[in-house]
């Protein structure tokens, strides 16, 4: 059923006019009044950093928080391949409408049309802004911007800065942010971890953070709170995320009433370096852009253990080119990942573990020469060589899918506000734009779109249309939240058990990967739903968290995040269980087409599943936002 | 393989630190250096002992957070490599390995191997940007940039802000870090308007934060995980001279 809690507030009118019309209809805060408002921004990645900088430029009083030692370290920095924009600089048929269409289709018809259209519209402004900041995008010889192709699209619309696009875009936002810090508009709080959201009279009015250096529990009050705290990929332990990425801020907001939407939509990236052993702390992505020139294959015969160079052409199966002739190696990520898994399940995987496929550059090197390949992908090849001790110019890369991005997140309306008034959520932390599968080069686009071009308008509207009596950190709600935080810290330190935090996290990851991973079934999910609470109990009875709460204590930080994951994982599995259809990155074995593609069930599942917290270990309440497709008619996705 | 580690332990900014011996057993050559430390920490945690604090985040060589001096060399023995990308196959069975934090007046030790690098943020805040607000940017292709200049800017922009250059320099100079940003913005058309004020402001901030000067020994370049060349420093010096003659 649809819920009164879920008014998406999508403006009326034709889709192409909605945002312009909404911009006109929204209330404004006059320039002199902006400095009277304080806005908290948690996170300094592409979404948080760009939001904090933009709100500072507008004149708001901004408090910006991050867990790292500097805002420049946020994990957006690791994005490699590029950022999409509907510039049509290549004259190859791109348009705002086509980017919108590709994104809705790529998301397997599980995203909100109006949000996606706005994203496509604003994509062109992002490139302009970043160029003006001095981001060194790749250029053609005539001095104009270069583009490359990415999965899920038949046009070249991806802008890039070598294999470090995320880094360069993030540094652009970071520099704008530091300029605002210098001018006093933004106050920066590094090495602070948000551990609770403070709600006063039903509105988000502040946060509680732990100062990671001194251990002090600090209180900050504001007129609105923006979370841009990234995704929850590390619930799988091994992922391409940074080791400090976590769900804690979003989860604590969820426990205060913010609805969590579509947690089962997780993206498994097809081109990562395979796992090498138990000691491994993270997986490394090889950019999807490699699929422009690399050809994916496995041996035709099961158990063919010959080295790749000894396997002749006729014994190789270029399965993506064979099965999807029009998109070939550039099918979307979910399709590429599932096919790699199928090849390995079929006994045709390569490498020692049998859990890898080849990504081969031999033909591209023969065609354009090693120098051209080096210029395009040099840093990626180097990274691969360092990790595996193999030379990808000489032998094919071995790749395997890994958890990379999470499409689910806190539920937000068209204004990027959660169901808790005043709590706004941007970037990967929200659920809004990518449906059940994100296309490559669209995460950077969404993060910057939300921060530079959406929130500066919508937050003004919220502030101008809401009564916000002054609240200070002496308010009881702050005291209650700070006590709550302190209590949980004390609990963690008091267990004094014998099990390592990492060991338990690794075990959680194994449950998630085996039972809630690339292919899920009612049976595997039910199993996970029994194993997760058992592991959570074990954690709270037998974890060892050494050290003191009064100084830098990385064990304590880590334990707090794993404790939250042990609660959140259950919600993820539950969401996956209730959605008995397959869509995008969520593949239910019970729901597939005869040739093994994800089979949606639009009659029963064309909705956003937004969950309301009811207590740890208690079944959450499900709210549904019906998805309406006026523009792009849902069909069985085909990339053949 | 087995390694003997000597690791710097320091309880807090004011405490005296010392090297403490740890044995690392069953080290796999495929482990990264930080994963080897993870294993030691896991053992300490299980024994209820305080884990060794060290910074790391992305673990793929791009965030710039990891910061260890290994056998006297920031980021360890591999050229062009951050600690997180350093693998144990580079070490020999039975080897003794010393692990210390970055050492520089401007980077005070917080605890164990963790240092405070906020001075780098202050240098960027002093002028490491193009002062434009969101909203007024012209079309991306309205600012043509030659491929060569874009590549040159990107070579400098690749800096990850880890601070190894400072840790390696006997003067604890931030010149390589600063010059990379100054060079990027001074070759691009977007950076021209503030070209003179930027270099002056950033150098003044570095001085105020206690970074030393440059004496052209090139240790910074040798340890830079992104292999940023010291020609950036030469460019910064030219930019500074130019600014002085412009009366800034």
> Which of B35, B129, B137 is opposite residue A129, by nearest beta carbon?
B137
- The reported pLDDT for the residue numbered A584 is 92
Cα B172 from Cα A27, distance rounded (Å): 52
Lowest mean pLDDT among A278-282, B92-96, B172-176: A278-282
Give the list of residues 6+ apart from residue A133 with CB closer than 8 angstroms, or none.
A172, A175, A176, B129, B130, B132, B190
- The reported pLDDT for the residue numbered A152 is 81
Cα A225 from Cα A460, distance rounded (Å): 13
CB atoms under 10 Å from CB of A12, counted, come to 9
Would you say residue A636 has pLDDT above 90? Answer: no
- The reported pLDDT for the residue numbered A383 is 87
Task: Answer whether A272 touches B (CB < 8 Å).
Answer: no
CATH number at residue A356: 3.90.700.10
A70 and A97 part of one domain: yes
3-state secondary structure B190-235: HHCCCHHHHHHHHHHHHHHCCCECCCCCCHHHHHCCCCCCCHHHHH
A299 and A156 part of one domain: no
Would you say residue A277 has pLDDT above 90? Answer: no
Lowest mean pLDDT among A54-58, A170-174, A231-235, B14-18: B14-18
- The reported pLDDT for the residue numbered A271 is 92
Task: Answer whether B89 touches A (CB < 8 Å).
Answer: yes
A411 and A555 part of one domain: no
The mean predicted confidence, pLDDT, of chain B is 97
Average pLDDT for B200-228: 97
- The reported pLDDT for the residue numbered A375 is 85
Average pLDDT for A136-145: 97
Catalytic residue among A192, A210, A333, A536: A333
A139 and A259 part of one domain: yes
Would you say residue A3 has pLDDT above 80? Answer: no
**Is residue A116 assigned to a domain?**
yes
- Exposed, middle or buried by CB within 10 Å (0-12, 13-18, 19+), for A503? middle
Task: Answer whether A171 touches B (CB < 8 Å).
Answer: yes
Residue range(s) of every CATH 3.10.20.30 domain in chain B:
3-111
Cα B130 from Cα B153, distance rounded (Å): 14
Tokens coding A167: 């880094």
**Is residue A57 assigned to a domain?**
yes
Instruction: Quote the CATH superfamily of domain B117-245.
Output: Alpha-helical ferredoxin (1.10.1060.10)
Would you say residue A127 has pLDDT above 90? Answer: yes
- The reported pLDDT for the residue numbered A153 is 87
Q: What is the pLDDT of residues A146-178, one digit of tens each?
A: 998 887 888 999 999 988 999 999 999 999 999
Residue range(s) of every CATH 1.10.1060.10 domain in chain B:
117-245
Cα A187 from Cα A44, distance rounded (Å): 12
Q: Under a CB-based contact definition with an 8 Å cutoff, are residues A174 and B124 in contact?
A: yes
Contact B134 A452 (CB under 8 A): yes
How many CB pairs (< 8 A) connect A and B? 228
- The reported pLDDT for the residue numbered A445 is 98
A37 and A99 part of one domain: yes
Tokens coding A537: 């109990």
Q: Under a CB-based contact definition with an 8 Å cutoff, are residues A145 and A127 in contact?
A: yes
Would you say residue B43 has pLDDT above 60? Answer: yes
A488 is catalytic: no
Give the list of residues 6+ apart from residue A117 with CB closer than 8 angstroms, or none.
A15, A16, A18, A19, A96, A100, A631
Which one of A386, A402, A418 terminates a domain?
Answer: A402
Identify all chain B residues contacting A129, using CB atoms and an 8 Å cutoff. 134, 137
- The reported pLDDT for the residue numbered A1 is 42
Would you say residue A333 has pLDDT above 80? Answer: yes
Average pLDDT for A533-541: 98
Which among B148, B158, B149 is positioned nearest to B179, based on CA atoms? B158
Task: Answer whether A633 touches B (CB < 8 Å).
Answer: no
Domains identified in chain A, total number = 3
A371 and A413 part of one domain: no
Task: Answer whether B128 touches A (CB < 8 Å).
Answer: yes
A264 and A274 part of one domain: no
Identify all chain B residues contacting A69, using CB atoms and an 8 Å cutoff. 55, 65, 114, 116-118
- According to DSSP, residue A579 is labeled -
Q: What is the pLDDT of residues A32-53, one digit of tens each?
A: 999 999 999 999 999 999 999 9
Task: Taking the CA atoms of B164, B167, B171 and B173 in sequence, report the sign of the dihedral they define.
Answer: positive
The mean predicted confidence, pLDDT, of chain A is 96
A445 and A526 part of one domain: no
A390 and A507 part of one domain: no
CATH of B3-111, one of 3.30.1330.20, 3.30.70.360, 3.10.20.30, 3.50.50.60: 3.10.20.30
Which 3 state secondary structure label does DSSP give B30? coil
Lowest mean pLDDT among A2-11, A393-402, A420-429, A570-579: A2-11
- Exposed, middle or buried by CB within 10 Å (0-12, 13-18, 19+), for B197? middle
- Exposed, middle or buried by CB within 10 Å (0-12, 13-18, 19+), for B23? exposed
Domain range holding A494? 476-604
CATH number at residue A547: 1.20.58.100
A155 and A280 part of one domain: no
CATH number at residue A176: 3.50.50.60
A140 and A263 part of one domain: yes
**Is residue A422 assigned to a domain?**
yes
Closest chain A residue to B154, measured at CA: A136
Task: Answer whether A448 touches B (CB < 8 Å).
Answer: no
Tokens coding A62: 């901004």
Contact B64 A72 (CB under 8 A): yes
Tokens coding A153: 């699209």
Would you say residue A5 has pLDDT above 80? Answer: no
Average pLDDT for A86-90: 97
Would you say residue B113 has pLDDT above 60? Answer: yes
Identify all chain A residues contacting B42, using CB atoms and an 8 Å cutoff. 500, 502-503
Which among A57, A12, A1, A68 is positioned nearest to A34, based on CA atoms? A57
| Residue from A51, A54, A131, A453 whose CB has the most chain B CBs within 10 Å, to mutate | A131
Cα B199 from Cα B193, distance rounded (Å): 12
Contact A139 B130 (CB under 8 A): no
Q: Under a CB-based contact definition with an 8 Å cutoff, are residues B125 and B178 in contact?
A: no
Question: A597 to chain B nearest CA, in Å?
Answer: 33
- The reported pLDDT for the residue numbered A278 is 86
Closest chain B residue to A559, measured at CA: B45
**Is residue A211 assigned to a domain?**
yes
Ramachandran category for residue A608: left, alpha or beta (phi over 0 → left; psi -120 to 50 → alpha): beta
Please state, in angstroms and as integers, the Cα–Cα distance from residue A459 to each residue in A20, A224, A423, following that order: 16, 8, 10
Task: Answer whether B227 touches A (CB < 8 Å).
Answer: no
Tokens coding A186: 């933004």
Cα A455 from Cα A52, distance rounded (Å): 10
Contact B58 A75 (CB under 8 A): yes
A106 and A59 part of one domain: yes
Cα B174 from Cα B203, distance rounded (Å): 9
Beta strands in A507-620 (DSSP E): 607-612
B116 confidence band (pLDDT: 50, 70, 90): very high
Residues 26-65 on B with a CB inside 8 Å of A are 28, 30-32, 34-36, 38-39, 41-42, 44-51, 53, 55-65
Would you say residue A2 has pLDDT above 50? Answer: no
A4 confidence band (pLDDT: 50, 70, 90): low
Identify all chain B residues contacting A53, using CB atoms and an 8 Å cutoff. 134
Cα A41 from Cα A58, distance rounded (Å): 15
Please provide the DSSP assignment of B32-57 as one string.
BHHHHHHHHHHHHHHTTPPPPP---S
Average pLDDT for A374-403: 91
Q: Under a CB-based contact definition with an 8 Å cutoff, are residues B56 and B66 in contact?
A: yes
Strand pairing of B3-9 and B96-101? parallel
Average pLDDT for B234-244: 97
- The reported pLDDT for the residue numbered A361 is 96
């Amino acid at each position: 059923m649809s819920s009164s809690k879920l008014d998406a507030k999508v403006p009326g009118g034709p889709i192409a006019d909605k945002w312009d019309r909404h911009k006109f209809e929204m209330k404004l805060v006059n320039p002199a009044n902006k400095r009277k408002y304080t806005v908290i921004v948690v996170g300094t990645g592409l979404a948080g950093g760009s939001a904090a900088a933009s709100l500072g430029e507008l004149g708001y009083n901004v408090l910006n928080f991050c867990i790292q030692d500097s805002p420049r370290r946020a994990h957006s920095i690791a994005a490699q391949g590029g950022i999409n924009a509907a510039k049509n600089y290549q004259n190859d048929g791109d348009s705002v409408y086509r980017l919108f269409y590709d994104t809705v289709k790529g998301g397997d018809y599980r995203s909100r049309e109006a949000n996606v259209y706005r994203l496509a519209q604003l994509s062109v402004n992002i490139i302009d802004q970043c160029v003006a900041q001095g981001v060194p995008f790749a250029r053609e010889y005539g001095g104009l911007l270069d583009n490359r192709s990415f999965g899920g699209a038949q046009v070249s619309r991806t802008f890039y800065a070598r294999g470090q696009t995320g880094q360069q875009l993030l540094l652009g936002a970071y520099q704008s942010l530091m300029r605002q810090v210098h001018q006093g508009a933004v106050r920066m709080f590094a090495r602070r971890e948000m551990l609770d959201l403070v709600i006063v009279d039903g509105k988000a009015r502040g946060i509680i953070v732990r100062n990671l250096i001194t251990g002090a529990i600090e209180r900050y009050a504001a007129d609105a709170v923006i979370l841009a705290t990234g995704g929850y990929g590390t619930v799988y332990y091994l992922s391409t995320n940074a080791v400090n990425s976590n769900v804690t801020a979003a989860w604590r907001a969820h426990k205060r009433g913010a609805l969590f939407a579509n947690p089962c939509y997780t993206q498994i990236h097809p081109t990562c370096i395979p796992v090498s052993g138990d000691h491994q702390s993270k997986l490394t992505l090889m950019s999807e852009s490699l699929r422009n020139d690399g050809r994916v294959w496995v041996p035709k015969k099961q158990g063919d253990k010959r080295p790749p160079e000894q396997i002749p052409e006729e014994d190789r199966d270029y399965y993506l080119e064979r099965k999807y002739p029009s998109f070939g190696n550039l099918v979307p990520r979910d399709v590429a990942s599932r096919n790699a898994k199928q090849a390995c399940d079929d006994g045709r995987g390569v490498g020692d573990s049998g859990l890898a496929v080849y990504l081969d550059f031999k033909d591209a090197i023969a065609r354009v020469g090693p120098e051209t390949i080096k210029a395009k992908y040099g840093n990626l090849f180097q990274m691969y060589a360092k990790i595996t001790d193999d030379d990808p110019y000489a032998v094919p890369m071995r790749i395997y899918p890994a958890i990379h991005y999470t499409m689910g997140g806190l539920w937000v309306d068209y204004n990027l506000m959660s169901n808790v008034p005043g709590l706004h959520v941007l970037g990967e932390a929200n659920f809004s734009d990518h449906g059940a599968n994100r296309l490559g080069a669209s995460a950077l686009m969404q993060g910057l779109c939300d921060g530079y071009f959406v929130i500066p308008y919508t937050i003004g509207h919220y502030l101008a249309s809401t009564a916000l009596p002054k609240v200070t950190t002496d308010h009881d709600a702050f005291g209650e939240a700070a006590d709550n935080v302190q209590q949980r810290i004390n609990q963690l330190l008091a267990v004094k058990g014998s099990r390592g935090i990492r060991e338990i996290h690794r075990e959680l990851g194994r449950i998630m990967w085996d039972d809630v991973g690339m292919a899920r079934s009612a049976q595997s999910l039910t199993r996970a739903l029994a194993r997760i609470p058992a592991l959570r109990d074990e954690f709270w009875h037998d974890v060892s968290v050494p050290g003191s709460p009064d100084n830098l204590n990385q064990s304590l930080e880590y334990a707090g995040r794993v404790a939250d994951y042990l609660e959140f994982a259950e919600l993820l599995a539950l969401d996956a269980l209730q959605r008995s259809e397959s869509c995008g990155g969520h593949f239910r074995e019970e729901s597939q087409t005869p040739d093994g593609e994800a089979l949606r069930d639009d009659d029963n599942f064309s909705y956003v599943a937004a969950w309301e917290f009811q207590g740890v270990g208690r079944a959450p309440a499900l709210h549904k936002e019906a998805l309406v497709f006026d523009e792009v008619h849902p069909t069985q996705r085909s990339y053949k | 393989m087995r390694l003997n580690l000597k690791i710097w332990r320091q309880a807090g900014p004011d405490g005296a630190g010392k090297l403490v011996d740890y044995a690392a057993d069953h080290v796999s050559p495929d482990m990264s250096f930080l994963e080897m430390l993870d294993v030691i920490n896991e053992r300490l945690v299980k024994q209820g002992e305080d884990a060794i604090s060290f910074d790391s985040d992305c673990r793929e060589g791009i965030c710039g957070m990891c910061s260890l001096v290994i056998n006297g060399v920031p980021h360890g023995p591999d050229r062009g490599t951050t600690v997180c990308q350093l693998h144990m196959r580079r070490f020999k069975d039975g080897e003794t390995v010393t692990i210390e934090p970055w050492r520089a007046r401007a980077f005070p030790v917080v605890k164990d191997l963790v240092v405070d690098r906020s001075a780098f943020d202050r240098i960027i805040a002093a002028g490491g940007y193009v002062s434009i607000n969101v909203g007024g940017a012209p079309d991306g292709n309205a600012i043509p940039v030659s491929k060569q200049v874009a590549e040159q800017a990107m070579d400098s922009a690749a800096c990850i802000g880890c601070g190894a250059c400072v840790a390696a320099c006997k003067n604890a100079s931030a010149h390589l870090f600063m010059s990379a940003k100054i060079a990027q913005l001074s070759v691009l058309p977007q950076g021209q308007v503030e070209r003179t004020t930027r270099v002056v402001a950033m150098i003044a901030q570095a001085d105020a934060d206690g970074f030393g000067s440059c004496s052209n020994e090139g240790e910074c370049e040798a340890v830079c995980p992104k292999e940023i060349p010291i020609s950036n420093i030469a460019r910064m010096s030219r930019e500074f001279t130019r600014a002085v003659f412009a009366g800034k």
